[in-house]
Amino acid sequence: MSEQTAGAGPSRLKTFVTAWTTGWDWRRLILVALVLMLVYQVVVPFGMIAWTSFKTARPGDASFLDLDFTLANYVRAFGTPRFWSATWSTLAFSTASTFVAFTIGAFLAWVIERTNTPLARLVGILLVGRIIIPGILITISWILIASPNIGLLNHLGLWLTGVRNIFNVYSFWGMVWVHSIEMVPLTYLLLAAAFQAMDPSLEEASTMTGAGVWRTLRRISMPLALPAAGAAVLLLFITTIETFEVPLLMGGRAGIRVYATEIFFNTSRTPTDWGISATYAMAMTVMSIILLVVYFRLIRHSERYQTITGKGYRPRRIDLGRWRYVTSALSLLMVFIITGVPFLMMLYVSFLPVYLPPSMRAFQSMSLVNYTAMLEDPAEALIPMWNSTLLGLGTATVVVLVVSAIAYFVHKTKIPGRKALDFLAFSSIALPSVVLGAAFLWFYLLVPIPVIGTLTIIGLAYLTKYMPFALRFVSSSMVQIHSELEEAAQVAGVPWRKNFFRIFLPLLKPGLLAAWFWVMVHAYRELTVALMLARSQNRTASVVIYYLWENGSFMQLSAFGVLIFILLIALVTASHFISKRYGVKEQY
Amino acid sequence: MTATSPTALRLVKWAVATSLLVAAMTPLAAKPAAAQADAALTPAEQIYADLAKLPTAERQQRIEEGAKKEGALNFIHTWRGKLARDHVAMFQKRYPFLKLDFNDMGSQDAGERLVAEEVAGRHLTDVVSMAVPDLVDILNKNLIAKYPTPVTTDKILPQYKGFSDPQNRWVTFYWSEFGITYNTDLVPAGHEPKGWDDLCKPEFKGHVSYDPPTVRFLVGIWTMMGEDKAKAWMKCVGQNKPIVQRGHTQRMELMIAGDHWVQGENYMYTCYEKLAKDPKTPCKGVFSAPILGVGGAIVINKNTQHPYTSALFADWTLSEESQVYTGKNFRGPVGVKHPFIPDGTNIFAYGIVPDDVLDNSLKYWDEYVTKVN
């Protein structure tokens, strides 16, 4: 084995060098541009964080840039029970949340995209519309729904059974529940594209051999969705490692501290302990890289999952017979719990001057004052909303273009070193937002590029932040496209660029749309990075939301949440009709 | 083809990444040293030293003339949203010739922002409003201009003089109060806590909430009680099943809604703001226990590009219109009567604390109260 490896080294190096020094074309140039862009966008901020983790001096101290390094932060972090306790909590919280979110999300994606379940489209719209509601609002809504003493469910439970405090949202499983249902729309979006791109002929063949719907699902559909499912699990897990709102608002009371809250507390004290925060960020990075390696091993035989070939591609829905009413009822119930319950709570709270559990006094105190207060100073709200819109649209478009190219090189070419692209683009997922925001602020303060105070600096940070997510969306769709399409194009003399834009991008449409939408919405509502980089001219809507929360107006914030939810549902409905008219209608 | 990358390739990748990182950082390495080595007065500090020698009227005239020439101010307000905007709007109305560019953010974030800019040699911010205990880092880095001004002597009421800085490094224009508040529906009259030690009583077990670590509060408790008593207090708080939850405002909302009985640590104004909106709101402050008072101050960047406008703004914050506005919005004014704290209340004012107080108060709070279960 060692001999093989030793012998393979020089040979592979020679292949690598030969491949990179001959045959330059457009494709190679784009690849180089991508590598440079990734180095700039990912390696530099990551390098700054790694650097900080090996320094006891803080950024700004004279010795911070000296070339003397220390493991003191690692000794300090790893040497305490708190680190290991946080590691355990992070892993347990992430595993449980991923399992719950994946199970519910996969079921809903299958029902909506692959079956003839009645009202499936409505379920999809409500599910996707849910993403726009800020996480902080959802978390607080669930606190009001299921916390001891004041939770609505506990009031109901007491009234029905006479037992006090049946539910306790301030617990491990309370945290898992609230965070899981927050991630169900992400799971749905990740899997929907893969389900849409599934070759029905395999399922038809299975059915013809006598296998029932469930057996076909288990033996054919699910294995074919393995890359997308793997990507979903990977993203859900890493998203949970990084998640902030639920551990912050519930974890303290539940006695659970995870990496994200440890970083937050270390960056919220004066002076900020950047060294220990960077060390936690490094631990998160290692976890993410391990997961990424597992994922790559899982999909190493990518040709097994290629379902879109040159032999015809026409997704078809599965007829569930009478079961379709059961799946309809189940998915409606789930989407009611995921979207409806917190939305109704927000709606209720938005009419109150101070929070009161439902009672005669509460209903008597209701008014529209929170809505009128929101509209009192439209300029202050409109400019940030416009900034967020620009950032959402711009970031989503750039990110999707970049990751499409990356996914193409990684999965559809044999250029040596291509996997490094995937690692580079994906590794930034491990950078906590607060650390990423700080790294960008520091970098652009040091480098004389005039982007501070503009939307560009936030957009650049978002490019780094959202590339990993969009990459998994697009990659899992890319591996489903058979290489024979490109080979046919090459035989026919079709240039690479034409092939990429005319064949790959249209076939990737479901994955691209899902990635674009996901990035757009998350860039619109992103808070931590925007907060770090905000100045008077580049303030975003989420910064306004945060200040509303900080200023103690959860009622007013709920009114804002209700308005943007209604607005987004209208937008999603409109985009659905537009896409049906001009886009992917052939799939239905 | 094996999955292992060749060593040479890894070395190339490492070298490229490292050289890019170093290339990005090295040219700027000299800046922090240069910034710190400058012991002489900056132009702004020289202006302030000269202004201090002038009679009050002439001084004011010189500041206004200078501000007119500068015409701009970039500053960070630690108040948020509408509260900050309306405050700034009053200043703008008073001096319409100024172009104001302001951001609002938390006190600690404001300090980090100033440090980042100055270390990078970018003098973008003129003035920052911060809580005094959060000034440690920027004082240590010598980023603040000393600004002696007669308004601190003339306008600050005697009972609030303790918030002033004898070395003129900051201008205090408001103060925040950490105290005990409780839900009047859940805690019957006569049974409310009277002092800080009462929070350890068995009848309050599991009913008192705190933020995980509010540094400003902890250093105040430590300074007021002294090390031994503070440690003992934190220990007994930890043993009394505290509710530890992030978010001062959120905790107040929850307490008022009936989630728990008492706020062991919170800004009292969050209760009185709500009472002003709805007098039936079931919350009340405890004024028999000493209240921890933290100054909120204006600090001027020693490298400010608008020294006169910075001085104008610092002085204006202590003007009557600014102080009345502060009081009307339930922040603690220092130039007019407090909106809800009765006269004669024991207020323990504190400011900059030694590093060991900061470290120890956090350490013991973590150990006794926010310990991982």
**pLDDT over 90 (residue B176):** yes
List the 189-248 stretch of B: residues with Cβ below 8 A of A.
212-213, 215, 243-247
Q: Taking 70 as the threshold, does the pLDDT of residue B213 lie above it? A: yes
Mean pLDDT confidence for A486-505:
74
State ipTM.
Answer: 0.72
The more confident residue out of B147 and A581 is: B147
> Residue A535: its chain B contacts at CB < 8 A?
101, 103
- Sorting pLDDT into bands at 50, 70 and 90, what band is A42? confident
Residues of chain A contacting B81 with CB distance shorter than 8 Å: 544, 547-548, 550-551
B256: contact with A, CB 8 A cutoff: yes
Rounded to the nearest angstrom, the minimum Cα separation between A365 and chain B is: 10
What would the pLDDT profile of B17-36 be if each residue is shown by its tens digit? 444 444 444 434 434 433 44
At A305, the pLDDT band (50, 70, 90 cuts) reads low
Q: Who wins on pLDDT, A422 or A173?
A: A173
**For residue A289, pLDDT beyond 60:** yes
pLDDT over 70 at B12, yes or no: no
The residue with greater pLDDT, A136 or B90, is B90
Residue A506 has pLDDT above 60, yes or no: yes
Torsion of CA A553, A554, A555, A560, to 10 degrees: 90
Q: Is the pLDDT of residue B6 over 50?
A: no
Sort strands B127-131 and B291-300 into parallel, antiparallel or unpaired: antiparallel
- H runs (alpha helix) in chain B: 7-25, 30-37, 43-51, 56-70, 81-94, 107-119, 136-140, 151-155, 215-225, 227-239, 248-257, 269-277, 307-316, 320-328, 355-368
Of B37 and A281, more confident: A281
Cβ atoms B76, B113 nearer than 8 A: yes
Chain A residues with beta carbon closer than 8 angstroms to that of B117: 445
Could you report the per-residue pLDDT of A108-152, keeping only the tens digit for each?
998 998 888 899 888 888 888 787 777 778 888 898 899 888 888
Largest CA distance in chain A: 82
Min mean pLDDT across A109-118, B124-133, B319-328 is at: A109-118
- Put simply, the answer to whether A357 touches B270 (Cβ < 8 Å) is no
Whether residue A448 has pLDDT greater than 60: yes
Could you give the percent of chain B with pLDDT greater than 90? Answer: 63
> In the structure encoding, which two tokens stand for residue B109, read together?
């974030």
pLDDT at A527: 78
**If DSSP codes are grouped into helix, strand and coil, which group holds residue A129?**
helix
How confident is residue A268, by pLDDT bands cut at 50, 70 and 90?
low
Task: Using alpha carbons, list the distances in angstroms from residue A461 to A544, B168, B349, B360.
Answer: 19, 39, 41, 36
CA distance to partner chain A, nearest, from residue B133 (Å): 9
Q: What is the pLDDT of residues A340-398, one digit of tens each?
A: 898 899 999 999 887 888 888 888 889 998 888 777 766 566 788 788 889 989 999 99
Q: Which residues pair with B77 in a beta bridge?
A: B104
pLDDT of residue B18: 42
Mean pLDDT (chain A, rounded): 79
CB of B108 within 8 Å of any CB in chain A?
yes
Chain B residues in contact with A10 by the CB 8 A cut-off are 6
- Average pLDDT of chain B is 86
Q: Which range in A39-43, A226-230, A526-530, B51-55 is most confidently predicted, on average pLDDT?
A: B51-55
Q: In chain B, positions 275-314, which contact chain A (CB-CB < 8 Å)? A: 277-278, 281
Is-contact A475 A292, C-beta < 8 A? no
